[in-house]
């Protein structure tokens, strides 16, 4: 059973989910070793730097700046200090993976292989990693929207990104079966919230509305997504971290189980900000799927989780946060908790 004396490694710690999880666990008095290569530029890099600045205010946080796609022999000493590794580092984004696939091979496949092998060498007791709802691809259901379950076919990825995440799941299976490592993969569904990703629809829509920029709605906003608030994701990861089940290899969906269309997302953000959006429609892009909808029955059967955040409430919290953000410089003392 995990206790506060255990040390947890979080990779991708300056990313959206990595930061949010580290902040939560540090407040619970865990000791965290955060790993990140700090890739990026412009607003994306500034956001990463601000997240890292906040985490470095905690005495129980240590940071290691390293590219995990390149095997570093010194990392075995770092991993040997930890009891659990939570691997969140990756290149995100379905659409971008179809334009520039090489970083996804490096950061999502090579890095994953290096990290799970380090876990094996360092005898890590539990390895938790982020997979993605994109592994399901487009499920053909004659127009009906059905919850996606973990036992469905995931052998037909529709993007380079989804292929890399499926590859992660397969490699985790190999290490679990061959070496007995307890691996838990979490298929995350369209995560949003404060300090979120600037390339995802909630941020793009809200920022564009606030700056009176024209928004492009792909497929006329008809695509449906299971938008999942960040606190629900960190609660799920924390539950998997703290609660043990007797199974070496597991995969779970983490979502809200309450999907909405992209056009509904836009109209909800308009309402919460009190400003009308300017938008144009365009055709769907390569790699986009028509819908995602998570069945969370399996994870809720095995772990105790709070109810999912209501969509309207989550968007309201996100809009309240983003209105308080300066886009050129994130305020020196702002945190998720006081916005």
The predicted pLDDT at position 285 comes to: 78
Decide the pairing of beta strands 61-65 and 214-218: unpaired
Q: Is 217 helix (H, G, I), strand (E, B) or coil?
A: strand
Taking each helix axis from N to C end, the angle separating 201-210 and 262-273, rounded to the nearest 10 degrees, works out to 40
State the pTM of this model. 0.93
The predicted pLDDT at position 303 comes to: 97
Residues in the chain: 339
pLDDT at 177 exceeding the cut of 50: yes
Exposure pattern of 143-168 as b/e (b: 16+ CB <10 Å)? eeeebbebeeebeebbbbbbbbbbbb
Instruction: Give the pLDDT confidence of 239-298 residue by residue, as tens digits.
Output: 999 999 889 999 999 999 999 999 999 999 999 999 999 999 998 877 788 889 999 999
Q: Is the separation of the CB atoms in 194 and 336 below 8 Å?
A: yes
Which residues, 6 or more positions from 139, have their beta carbon under 8 angstroms from its beta carbon? 146, 148, 152, 291
- The radius of gyration of the chain's CA atoms, rounded to the nearest angstrom, is 19
The mean per-residue pLDDT over the stretch 158-185 comes to 97
Question: What does the H/E/C string look like for 55-77?
Answer: HCCCCCEEEEECCCCCCCCCHHH
- ∠ Cα 254 256 262 (to 5°): 115
Exposure pattern of 104-130 as b/e (b: 16+ CB <10 Å)? bbbbbbbbbbbbbbbbbebebebbbbb
Instruction: Give the pLDDT confidence of 78-92 residue by residue, as tens digits.
Output: 999 999 999 999 999
Instruction: Give the pLDDT confidence of 94-107 residue by residue, as tens digits.
Output: 989 999 999 999 99
The predicted pLDDT at position 329 comes to: 41
Give strand pairing partners of 294: 148
Tell me which residues are annotated as active site.
161
The predicted pLDDT at position 174 comes to: 98
Instruction: Give the pLDDT confidence of 125-149 residue by residue, as tens digits.
Output: 999 999 999 999 988 677 778 999 9
Which residues, 6 or more positions from 175, have their beta carbon under 8 angstroms from its beta carbon? 116, 117, 119, 120, 127, 181, 183
């Amino acid at each position: 059973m995990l206790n506060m004396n255990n040390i947890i490694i979080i990779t991708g710690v300056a990313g959206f989910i990595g930061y949010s999880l580290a902040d939560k666990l540090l407040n619970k008095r865990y000791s965290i070793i955060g790993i990140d290569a700090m890739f990026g530029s412009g607003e994306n890099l500034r956001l990463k730097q601000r997240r890292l600045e906040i985490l470095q205010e905690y005495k129980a946080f240590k940071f290691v700046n390293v590219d995990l796609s390149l095997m570093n022999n010194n990392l075995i000493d770092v991993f040997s200090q930890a009891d659990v590794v939570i691997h969140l580092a990756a290149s995100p984004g379905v659409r971008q993976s179809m334009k520039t696939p090489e970083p996804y091979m490096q950061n999502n496949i090579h890095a994953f292989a290096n990290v799970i092998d380090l876990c094996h060498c360092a005898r890590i007791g539990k390895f938790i990693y982020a997979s993605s709802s994109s592994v399901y691809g487009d499920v053909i259901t004659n127009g009906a929207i059905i919850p996606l379950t973990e036992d469905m076919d995931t052998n037909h990825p529709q993007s380079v990104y989804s292929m890399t995440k499926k590859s992660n799941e397969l490699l985790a299976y190999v290490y679990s079966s061959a070496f007995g490592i307890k691996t838990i993969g979490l298929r995350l569904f369209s995560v949003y919230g404060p300090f979120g990703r600037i390339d995802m629809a909630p941020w793009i829509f809200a920022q564009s509305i606030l700056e009176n920029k024209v928004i492009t709605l792909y497929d006329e906003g008809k695509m449906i997504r299971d938008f999942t608030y960040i606190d629900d994701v960190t609660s799920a990861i924390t539950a998997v971290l703290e609660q043990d089940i007797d199974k070496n290899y597991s995969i779970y969906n983490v979502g809200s189980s309450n999907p909405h269309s992209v056009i509904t997302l836009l109209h909800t953000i308009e309402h919460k900000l009190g400003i009308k959006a300017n938008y144009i429609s365009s055709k769907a892009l390569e790699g986009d799927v028509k819908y995602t909808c998570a069945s969370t029955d399996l994870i809720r059967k095995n772990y105790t989780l709070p109810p999912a955040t209501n969509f309207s409430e989550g968007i309201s919290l996100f809009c309240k946060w983003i209105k308080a953000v300066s886009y050129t410089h994130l305020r020196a003392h702002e945190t998720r908790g006081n916005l």
